[in-house]
Amino acid sequence: MIFDVEAYKGMSRSEIADDINLTYESLGYGEQAPSDLIDFVSGEVESLAKEPAEKNLKADNCGTGAGGFKPGNDCAEGHGRPPSDRRQGPVSKEEQMAFAEFTTGMRRIWNNNRNDPSQIERDADGNEYDAHEVESGAHIGHYNTQEEGVEMMRSIQKDLPPQEEQDLIAWTRNGDTVVDYFREGESRLDRADKKVKELDQFLAEEWSDEAFETLDNLEGEDLEKAVIGFAQRVRSTTTGIEMELRTAHGVLINQLPKSESGDPVIPDDSILEVLGRMDYYDRSNKKLGRMISDPGLFTPQDIIRHVRGQREMYADQYAPLKKYFKDVHKLERAYIDRLATNLNKPIRSDGEPVTVWRGIRVNDAGAKRLYDDILRGDDRFELTSVNSTSLSSSTAAHFARADQSSEGPAILLEIKARNGVAIGSRSAFPLESEILLPPRSNARIISKELVFNEEAEKPVLYVEMEMEDE
């Protein structure tokens, strides 16, 4: 199958191209597949070849890492906050500046006390440590080993229906769409959908009959200048729409699960048609770019005729693309709803609570918000998004201390939970003994203390929590 990237592992680009061309021809689309399609599949194969390195990067992000978090994502942002402060969305510029000042202050404190870190009494915000000397391994060390976590996972992991299995596998590949949805109220596709509508409206105004009539009334240098500006805006807008539609394609391929039968949710021939149309329009748009960059070879009338041609084929070319976008969007929403529902069930068959761990490095403004909320908030807490946790405290501790260069503190959560799903061997990182907790879950903070840990060489906010309303 064309989009079964695994089938092309180890193949050269020319071998991939030959295979795709044969399939493309067999479907009646011609002898040559769009070059963009070949480039896309080849790029995915290259990504697979680099996968081990990428997985290591993911594992160094935050949480336990197995939930599909990508390098550089602010996954701690919005994952938990007291009910009194359920702020949504990205952090503000003010919070980013405050975080920069905080890390500068922490660096100064550490440099002043590097020879004797036990003398540190406050963090850069003036919060006192509850303990100044902590034995190696305490609070951030080896409560239970990775091996013990794996053994416990074997005893609680359950068989799941095929659809739930596929949903969890999709999560381990890329949890961003779910995290964004619960954190900000919209997913990556939601934002892309908004953008497409904005661009579509702008384009309708930009190449309206009135816009062309305005150009027809100009002459000389005024016409040349106006046409170049006009063409640049059209090209930028149509390119923007195309990029958002490619986002939809990427979500389908990389984030959404297959059907219960294991087949693609949208047939390959439909995807081929969409990508073929996208490629056709892309070539037209690139030609417009060449006309803009070398106006000496083209008259203003040439450019106007080309843009008129783009407008004429726009509805025909983009109608199936937009339908495809909507179809993928529906699939994403159904997936998010299904995953949230399926996670809200007992982890253990007997309904007894399970102690899980989550380690977070405070290395961005979003995580700093979480740190402040815990320190200064009340004892009731909401885990807003799907949270990736581990049965192994040592695994969570690794994520809390993984980046020694980070000046900020770390957060280590010990959570007693009844509801969630033990991923175990379904995870991209089976040794992490991962358990997913359901979104929008309430927790009660039992205890919290800010300690300095010599092994981690950083302050650690250690928090004991238990889930409520389960």
Q: Tell me how far apart the alpha carbons of residues 145 and 398 are, in angstroms, rounded to a whole number.
A: 11
Q: What is the pLDDT of residues 43-70, one digit of tens each?
A: 667 766 654 433 332 333 334 433 333 3
What are the tens digits of pLDDT across the range 210-234?
Answer: 999 998 888 888 998 899 999 999 9
The answer to whether position 168 is within a domain reads no
Pure H helices in 344-380: 365-376
Q: How confident is the model at residue 3 (pLDDT cuts 50, 70, 90)?
A: very low
Res 69: pLDDT: 32
The verdict on residue 242 lying in a domain is: yes
Q: Which band of pLDDT confidence, cut at 50, 70 and 90, is reported for residue 456? A: low
Q: What is the pLDDT of residue 171?
A: 85
Lowest-confidence pick of 162-166, 319-323, 381-385, 417-421: 319-323
Strand 380-383 with 441-453, pairing:
antiparallel
CA 404 to chain centre: 24
Same domain, 357 and 337: no
Please state the φ and ψ torsions of residue 370, each to the nearest 5 degrees. Answer: -60, -45
Q: Is 165 inside a domain boundary?
A: no
Domain hosting 206: range is: 188-343
**pTM of the prediction?**
0.70
Exposure on the CB side of residue 11, measured as CA atoms within 13 A = 19
pLDDT (tens digit, 9 = 90+) per residue, 54-113? 333 233 333 443 333 333 333 333 333 333 334 445 678 888 888 889 988 888 887 887
Domain membership flag for residue 335: yes
Torsion sign, CA atoms 87, 89, 91, 94 = negative
Tell me the range of 74-83, 170-179, 385-394, 456-465 where mean pLDDT is highest. 385-394
- Which segment, 230-239, 248-257, 316-325, is predicted with the most confidence on average? 230-239
Confidence band, pLDDT 50/70/90 cuts, at residue 135: low
Pair 215, 329 in one domain: yes
Pair 200, 291 in one domain: yes
The more confident residue out of 312 and 231 is: 231
One-letter amino acid at 153 equals: M
Residue the block writes with tokens 């007291």: 82
Give the residue carrying structure tokens 């990182």.
429
Q: How far apart are CA 378 and CA 468, in angstroms?
A: 15
Phi and psi at residue 277, to the nearest 5° = -65, -40
Please give the span between the terminal C-alpha atoms of the chain, in angstroms, as a whole number.
43
Count of domains observed in the chain? 3
Q: Which residue has the higher pLDDT, 212 or 469?
A: 212
Do 218 and 312 fall within a single domain?
yes
183 assigned to some structural domain: no
Each residue's pLDDT tens digit, 253-277: 778 887 766 666 777 777 777 777 7
pLDDT band of residue 393 (cuts 50, 70, 90) is: confident
Q: Residue 93 has what pLDDT?
A: 84
Same domain for 226 and 273, yes or no, is: yes
State how far the Cα of 333 lies from the Cα of 255, in Å rounded to an integer: 12
Domain end point (choices 36, 54, 72) = 54
Residue 327 has pLDDT above 60, yes or no: yes
**Together in a domain, 339 and 192:** yes
Same domain, 447 and 400: yes
Q: Is residue 40 part of a domain?
A: yes
Tell me what the pLDDT averaged over the chain comes to.
77
Using DSSP, state whether 123 is helix, strand or coil: coil
Nearest residue to 129 via CA among 448, 386, 457? 448
> Residue 48 has what pLDDT?
63
Of 144, 133, 142, 74, which Cα lies nearest the Cα of 369?
74
| Residue 164 falls inside a structural domain | no
Q: Examine the domain organization and report whether 82 and 42 are in the same domain.
A: no
pLDDT at 251: 84
| Chain centroid offset of residue 5 CA | 20
Has residue 390 got a pLDDT over 80?
A: yes
Per-residue pLDDT at 401 exceeds 60: yes
> Do 325 and 201 lie in a common domain?
yes
User: Which DSSP string corresponds to 373-415?
Assistant: HHHHS-SEEEE-S-EEEES-HHHHHHHHHS-TT--S-EEEEEE
151-158 own/partner pairs: CB under 8 Å, 24+ apart: 152/391, 152/433, 153/391, 153/422, 153/424, 153/433, 154/424, 156/347, 156/348, 156/349, 156/354, 156/422, 157/422, 157/423, 157/424, 157/425, 158/349, 158/422
State the pLDDT at residue 64: 41
What residue type is 345 in one-letter code?
K
Percent of the chain topping pLDDT 70: 77
What pLDDT sits at residue 140? 61
User: How many CA atoms, within 13 angstroms, populate the side-chain half-sphere of residue 173?
Assistant: 17
Of 324, 343, 362, the last residue of a domain is: 343
Q: Which pLDDT score is estimated for 450?
A: 87
pLDDT over 80 at 295, yes or no: no
Confidence of residue 415 (pLDDT cuts 50, 70, 90): very high
Least confident of 24-28, 247-251, 378-382: 24-28
232 vs 132, residue with greater confidence = 232
Residue 281 included in any domain: yes
Q: Is the pLDDT of residue 313 over 50?
A: yes
Same domain, 105 and 250: no
Residues 285 and 371 in one domain: no
* 65 and 45 within one domain: no
Instruction: Identify the domain boundary among 343, 366, 384.
Output: 343
